[in-house]
Amino acid sequence: MSGAPDYRTGIGWDSHRLKKGRPLILGGVRIESEFGLDGHSDADVLSHAITDALLGALAQGDIGMHFPDSDPKWKDAGSLHFLHHTVQLLGVAGWKLVNVDANVLIEKPKLKDYRQAIRESLARTLGLPLDCVSVKFKTAEGVGPVGRGESAEAQAVATITRRT
């Protein structure tokens, strides 16, 4: 592929409603909370956003194309599986992940005490050093569905490079 760039960047975003009694999983880590994210899989918005960022960098569509919610085999699936599979796709296509930077938008619970565990979980799954995985937590300060405590969102950016 003469002239093709040696680096690519992808962006991902996901949102799920909060539902009482569901587990709250972020980056593969179970968070103590009365409310969890509702979805076909474990609804881990952070892992979903990172998966989409990786697929975007590869120009390989989105999470719904690879893990459709119409397929019963993904019912209640752990989203780290989606991430692991997508990292394998990178390798097959001749790319490797360089870094991930992500935001989680949720009103409560406060997540700062979970940051290290989430980063470690993601770094293991992604095959990255810890200092190449950044996760930040934000609130919407009462604005919109996130601010009203109805949902959570995540955004992610991933950079990949050609394997040499």
2 pLDDT more than 70: no
In a domain, 79, yes or no: yes
Where does the pLDDT of residue 161 fall: very low under 50, low under 70, confident under 90, or very high at 90 and above? very high
Asked whether residue 153 is domain-assigned, the answer is: yes
Task: Tell me which H or E stretch contains 100.
Answer: strand 95-105
Do the domain assignments include residue 30? Answer: yes
* CATH number of the domain bearing residue 15: 3.30.1330.50
Asked whether residue 112 is assigned to any structural domain, the reply reads yes
pLDDT digits (tens, 9 = 90+) for 99-155: 999 999 999 999 999 999 999 999 999 999 999 999 999 999 999 999 999 999 999
H or E segment and range at residue 162: strand 151-162
Total domains present in the chain? 1
In a domain, 1, yes or no: no
Rounded to whole angstroms, the Cα distance separating 130 from 20 reads: 32
**Cβ neighbours of residue 104 under 8 Å, at least 6 residues apart?**
26, 45, 46, 111, 135, 136, 137, 138, 152, 153, 154
Domain ranges, residue 30? 7-162
Answer yes or no: is pLDDT of 34 > 70. yes
User: Does residue 2 belong to any structural domain of this protein?
Assistant: no
* Residue 83 counted as domain residue: yes
Q: Is residue 26 part of a domain?
A: yes
Checking if the pLDDT of 54 tops 80, the result is yes
